[in-house]
C-alpha cells in the first residue's frame, strides 16, 4: 500500500460487514482513520447489535473507531461527525453504504416498510452529508490539507442498479437508490467550489442482499450465482481510487463495478423530441416508440459472466 490517504479521516456507514467493511479495510490500508458506523441490524433493519461495529473496529486496529448507533436521524448524523472530529481531528471522506431491504410488490407493500427504507437508505445519507459537508467546508477555509486548496473532501454514495433499471418487488429500495443518485448530483454541484467531490457507485458483489435472493426464474438464479463469485474488495478498490488525490477531478459521476470491470453509466438526458399536438398520445407511439426504454430488470441487464 502507498499511504495515499495518510492524515485523512473517514466515515463509512454499514462498515461492519460486506462491502462496507471491505471499503473500511481498504481506506485504512491506505492510511486513513475510519469510523466504523454500523448499528448491526438485520438486512430488514431490525435487531440492532452494537457488537458488530465494536468487533470490526477492534479487528481493524488503532485507526478504526466504532459508532454503533443508527444514523437515520439528523441528531445521530451530527453526533457521528462530531465523533470523527473528536477522535481524528476532522472529517474528509464520507461513504454512505448502509442500506436495508424490505421487498414487496407495490400492490402488497406496507407503507411503513416504505418509510423505513427511505429513511434508512436515503434520508440517512442526506443527514450525514448535511452534517459532514459543513465541517468539510470550514476545514477547507482553515487550510486543512495544505495551502493549495482543500482537495481532501470526498463523498461516495453506494447506489444500486435496481435504482437505475428497476427490479421486481423493490419499489422502496429502488426509489431510495435512485433518489441517492439525485442527491449525489446536487451534492457535487453544491460543493464544487469547496473542491469536495461527490460520486455514486453501483456495486455488483456478494452481499447480504445477494445471499438472501430466492430465485424465481432461471435469470435470477444465474444472476445470484454470478454475484456470489465477486468479492467486495473490487468495490473497495474503486471507492479508494475516488478518494485518492488522483480522484479530485472526478465528481457528479455514476460508476459501476463488477469484479475487475468498471462502468461509467450515462445519465438521463433527452434522446428525442416532438411538438405536442391534438394527437399527442398517438404521436408519442408513432414517432418515439423505437426510443422507449424497455422494462428490462437490472438482473436481466447484467446477465453475463463478470471479470473476477
Length of the chain: 308
DSSP helix/strand/coil, 259: strand
98 contact partners, CB below 8 Å, separation of at least 6 = 13, 14, 20, 37, 38, 71, 120, 121, 124
Looking at residue 234, its pLDDT comes to: 96
Contact 229, 308 (CB under 8 A): yes
Contact 28, 241 (CB under 8 A): no
Q: Chain-centre distance of CA 203, in angstroms?
A: 8
Pairing of strands 254-258, 261-264: antiparallel
Side-chain half-sphere exposure of 226, counting CA atoms within 13 A: 18
Q: What is the mean pLDDT of residues 64-89?
A: 97
| Residue 239, C-alpha cell as written in the block | 471507492
Looking at residue 218, its pLDDT comes to: 77
Looking at residue 213, its pLDDT comes to: 67
Q: Chain-centre distance of CA 43, in angstroms?
A: 16
Contact 9, 64 (CB under 8 A): no
pLDDT tens track for 144-175: 988 778 989 999 999 999 999 998 999 999 99
pLDDT(201) > 80: yes
Please tell me the least confidently modeled range out of 3-7, 63-67, 175-179, 203-207.
203-207
Q: What is the mean pLDDT of residues 246-264?
A: 97
Question: Which is more confidently placed, 209 or 282?
Answer: 282
pLDDT tens track for 76-86: 999 999 999 99
Pairing of strands 64-67, 9-13: unpaired
Strands (E), the chain: 9-13, 33-37, 64-67, 93-96, 154-158, 197-204, 254-258, 261-264
Q: What is the mean pLDDT of residues 60-86?
A: 97
d(CA 163, CA 203): 12
Q: What is the mean pLDDT of residues 258-275?
A: 96
Query: For residue 253, which phi and psi values (nearest 5 degrees)?
Result: -105, 155
pLDDT(216) > 70: no
The torsion of the CA quartet 185, 186, 191, 193, rounded to 10 degrees, works out to 90
Q: What is the mean pLDDT of residues 218-238?
A: 85
**pTM confidence score:** 0.95
Give percent of the chain with pLDDT exceeding 90. 83
The model's confidence at residue 1, banded by pLDDT at 50, 70 and 90, is: low
Report the catalytic residues: 160, 173, 177
d(CA 214, CA 303): 17
Looking at residue 157, its pLDDT comes to: 98
Q: Which residue has cell 416498510?
A: 113
Q: In DSSP terms, which residues pair with 307 in a beta bridge? A: 259
Domains of the chain: 9-269+296-301 (3.40.50.720)
Looking at residue 141, its pLDDT comes to: 93
Q: Chain-centre distance of CA 234, in angstroms?
A: 14
The model's confidence at residue 222, banded by pLDDT at 50, 70 and 90, is: confident
Alpha helices, DSSP H, located in 142-279: 162-165, 171-190, 208-211, 218-227, 233-243
| Residue 286, C-alpha cell as written in the block | 408513432
| Residue 154, C-alpha cell as written in the block | 470526498
Looking at residue 305, its pLDDT comes to: 86
Residue in 190, 123, 120, 112 with CA at minimum distance from that of residue 155: 190
Taking only Cα atoms into account, the Rg of the chain, rounded to an integer number of angstroms, comes to 20
Q: What is the mean pLDDT of residues 227-242?
A: 93
pLDDT(232) > 80: yes
| Residue 5, C-alpha cell as written in the block | 490517504
Q: In DSSP terms, which residues pair with 65 in a beta bridge? A: 35
Amino acid at each position: 500500500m502507498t499511504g495515499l490517504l495518510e492524515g485523512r479521516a473517514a466515515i463509512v456507514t454499514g462498515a461492519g460487514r460486506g462491502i462496507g467493511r471491505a471499503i473500511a479495510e481498504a481506506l485504512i490500508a491506505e492510511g486513513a482513520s475510519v469510523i466504523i458506523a454500523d448499528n448491526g441490524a438485520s438486512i430488514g433493519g431490525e435487531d440492532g447489535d452494537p457488537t458488530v461495529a465494536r468487533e470490526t473496529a477492534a479487528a481493524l486496529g488503532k485507526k478504526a473507531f466504532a459508532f454503533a448507533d443508527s444514523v437515520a436521524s439528523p441528531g445521530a448524523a451530527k453526533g457521528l461527525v462530531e465523533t470523527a472530529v473528536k477522535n481524528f481531528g476532522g472529517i474528509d471522506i464520507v461513504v454512505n453504504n448502509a442500506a436495508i431491504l424490505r421487498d414487496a410488490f407495490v400492490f402488497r407493500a406496507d407503507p411503513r416498510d416504505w418509510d423505513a427504507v427511505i429513511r434508512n437508505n436515503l434520508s440517512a445519507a442526506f443527514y450525514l452529508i448535511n452534517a459532514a459537508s459543513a465541517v468539510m467546508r470550514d476545514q477547507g477555509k482553515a487550510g486543512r490539507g495544505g495551502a493549495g486548496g482543500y482537495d481532501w473532501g470526498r463523498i461516495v454514495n453506494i447506489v444500486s442498479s435496481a435504482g437505475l433499471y428497476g427490479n421486481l418487488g423493490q419499489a422502496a429500495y429502488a426509489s431510495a437508490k435512485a433518489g441517492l443518485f439525485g442527491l449525489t448530483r446536487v451534492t457535487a454541484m453544491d460543493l464544487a467550489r469547496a473542491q469536495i467531490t461527490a460520486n455514486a457507485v453501483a456495486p455488483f458483489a456478494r452481499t447480504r442482499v445477494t445471499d438472501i435472493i430466492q430465485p424465481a426464474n432461471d435469470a435470477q438464479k444465474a444472476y445470484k450465482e454470478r454475484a456470489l463469485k465477486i468479492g467486495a474488495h473490487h468495490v473497495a478498490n474503486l471507492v479508494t481510487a475516488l478518494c485518492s488525490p488522483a480522484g479530485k477531478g472526478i465528481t457528479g459521476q455514476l460508476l459501476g463495478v463488477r469484479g475487475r470491470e468498471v462502468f461509467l453509466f450515462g445519465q438521463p438526458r433527452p434522446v428525442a423530441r416532438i411538438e405536442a399536438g391534438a394527437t399527442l398520445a398517438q404521436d408519442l407511439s408513432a414517432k418515439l416508440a423505437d426510443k422507449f426504454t424497455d422494462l428490462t430488470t437490472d438482473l436481466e441487464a447484467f446477465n453475463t459472466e463478470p471479470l473476477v
